[in-house]
Structure 1
């Protein structure tokens, strides 16, 4: 799934992305680390992998990496 980087804190390695419909989804340090990135700037297009924890639960991002063509 694709999204746009919205926020990122380099100290905690946490942040959030915006889906194409404008929905924000936060990500934690393990999701950032899984993508192998060192830095993320707001506005960058990213690829994310999302895991659902069950019906009605908010999606959880498990991987954030740069979107490449």
Structure 2
């Protein structure tokens, strides 16, 4: 699934993304570390993997979207 980076805190390695429908979804350091990234800037397109749906949705991986 694709999304756009919305927020990122380099100290906690957590933040949030906006899904293409505008829904914000938070991610934690575990999901960030799983993608092997070192930095994330708001506005970057990312690929995410999620588990669950609705309010139970959890991001398990955040990595850059490549074409």
TM-score normalised according to structure 1 size = 0.93
In structure 2, distance between residues paired with 1:3 and 1:40: 13
Runs of 4+ in 1 over 3 A off after TM superposition: none
> What SS does the corresponding residue of 1:30 show, helix, strand or coil?
helix
Instruction: In structure 2, list runs of 5 or more residues that go unmatched.
Output: none
Larger Rg belongs to: 1
Indicate the residue corresponding to 2:64 in structure 1. 66
- Offset of 1:58 from its aligned partner? 2.2
In structure 1, distance between residues paired with 2:50 and 2:55: 12
In structure 1, distance between residues paired with 2:55 and 2:64: 26
Q: How many residues align?
A: 67
Instruction: In structure 1, list runs of 5 or more residues that go unmatched.
Output: none
Calculate the aligned-residue CA RMSD, in Å.
Answer: 1.2
Structure holding more helix per residue = 2
- Which range is displaced more, 57-66 or 16-25? 57-66
Indicate the residue corresponding to 2:29 in structure 1. 29
